[in-house]
């Protein structure tokens, strides 16, 4: 029986032929093949265990979801005076989508309406997820403790420095722009100031806490003589980072204005920003201004 030359070459590499015509595989190659087969069997067993564990987890999740739905059904189905909470619709929607592929997910009307909500969504969810989430007041206190609140007319160079340090990038790109607002005066209890008047400029910089008073006559005079802000002037800083996901924009300053400013005011303001950034070890590259 004739053999292919390629087969003959392979046989010469992996073994040798005995005098009686029998072929014997080299012991090292034979041991290597046995070891490979053993590894494949072990891997197959691991995959089987993982698959079984995943199935058990899915069963437990389905059981937990089903139990939650049953509890809510028992509590609210026969209660005509009590509307079903949003959590019931949410759990029911989750149970329906758990065994579906992503392109087959479907959502009921309650979930669709919730997805279109605005600022009050969080509080709505909190009222329905009993004992789970803190109130809006608690969140405000947390934000205040972390110094995340923006005070009108304040330039937050120290916070910008901390932000750049966190993402390991000292380079920033700056921009300034205005957007229209509805003129309105509000009281800020944190600073004991009235917000909404057009901030006066000194050397191009807005005066911080300018409209602070405990005198009603003074407040009345301001309403009669001071301009209300028709625009919000916003200074944004964009960190330059190789990782775009960490390069989030930062609000350096925001304040109300009537857009009455001269070129020297703008130049002095951005010179001040450049000098303060340099003093904090930040490298300011470019400015974009729109009015």
User: Whole-angstrom Cα distance, residue 10 to residue 13?
Assistant: 5
Q: How confident is the model at residue 222 (pLDDT cuts 50, 70, 90)?
A: very high
Q: How far apart are CA 140 and CA 189, in angstroms?
A: 13
- Report the pLDDT value the prediction gives residue 81, as an integer from 0 to 100: 45
Average pLDDT, the chain: 80
Flag whether pLDDT at 286 surpasses 90. Answer: no
pLDDT of residue 235: 92
Q: What angle do CA 60, 53, 93 make, to 5 degrees?
A: 35
Angle, helices 157-167 vs 263-279, to 10°: value is 50
- pTM value is 0.52
At 61-108, the pLDDT tens digits run 666 666 666 666 656 555 554 566 677 777 777 777 777 787 888 877
> How far is the C-alpha of 235 from the C-alpha of 289, rounded, in Å?
9
User: Which residues, other chains included, contact 85 with Cβ-Cβ below 8 Å and sequence gap of 6+?
Assistant: 72, 76, 128
Q: For residue 9, what pLDDT band results from cuts at 50, 70 and 90?
A: confident
The mean pLDDT value for 232-250 works out to 80
**1 or 54: whose pLDDT is higher?**
54
In the beta sheet, which residues pair with residue 15? 25
Cα separation of the two ends of the chain: 92
Q: What is the mean pLDDT of residues 39-43?
A: 87
The 10 Å CB-count burial string (b at 16+, else e) for 225-256 is ebebbebebbbbbbbebeeeeebeebebbbbb
The yes-or-no verdict on residue 21 having pLDDT over 70 is yes
Cβ contact 235:176 at 8 Å: yes
Average pLDDT rounded to a whole number, residues 176-202: 89
Q: Are 229 and 152 in contact (CB under 8 A)?
A: no
Any idea which of 3-7, 93-97, 276-280 has the lowest mean pLDDT? 3-7
- CA separation for the pair 95, 70 (Å, rounded): 12
């Amino acid at each position: 029986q004739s053999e292919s030359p390629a087969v003959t070459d392979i046989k010469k590499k992996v073994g040798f032929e005995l005098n009686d015509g029998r072929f014997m595989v080299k012991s090292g190659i034979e041991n290597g093949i046995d070891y490979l087969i053993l590894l494949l069997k072990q891997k197959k067993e691991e995959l089987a265990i993982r698959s079984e564990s995943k199935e058990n987890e899915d069963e437990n999740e389905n059981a937990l979801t089903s139990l939650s739905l049953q509890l809510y059904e028992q509590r609210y189905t026969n209660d005509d005076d009590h509307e079903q909470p949003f959590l019931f619709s949410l759990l029911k929607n989750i149970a329906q989508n758990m065994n579906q592929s992503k392109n087959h997910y479907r959502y009921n009307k309650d979930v669709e309406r919730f997805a279109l909500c605005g600022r009050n969504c969080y509080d709505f969810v909190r009222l329905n997820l009993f004992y789970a989430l803190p109130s809006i007041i608690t969140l405000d206190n947390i934000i205040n403790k972390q110094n995340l609140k923006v005070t009108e007319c304040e330039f937050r160079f120290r916070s910008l420095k901390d932000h750049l340090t966190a993402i390991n990038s000292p380079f920033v790109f700056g921009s300034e722009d205005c957007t229209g607002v509805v003129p309105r005066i509000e009281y800020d209890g944190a600073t004991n100031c009235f917000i909404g008047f057009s901030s006066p400029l000194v050397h191009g910089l807005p005066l911080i806490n300018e409209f602070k008073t405990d005198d009603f006559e003074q407040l009345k005079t301001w309403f009669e003589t001071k301009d209300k802000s028709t625009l919000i002037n916003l200074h944004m800083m964009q960190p330059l980072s190789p990782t775009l996901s960490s390069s989030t924009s930062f609000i350096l300053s925001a304040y109300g204005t009537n857009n009455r400013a001269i070129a020297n005011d703008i130049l002095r303001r951005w010179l001040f920003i450049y000098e303060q950034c340099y003093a904090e070890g930040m490298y300011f590259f470019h400015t974009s201004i729109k009015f």
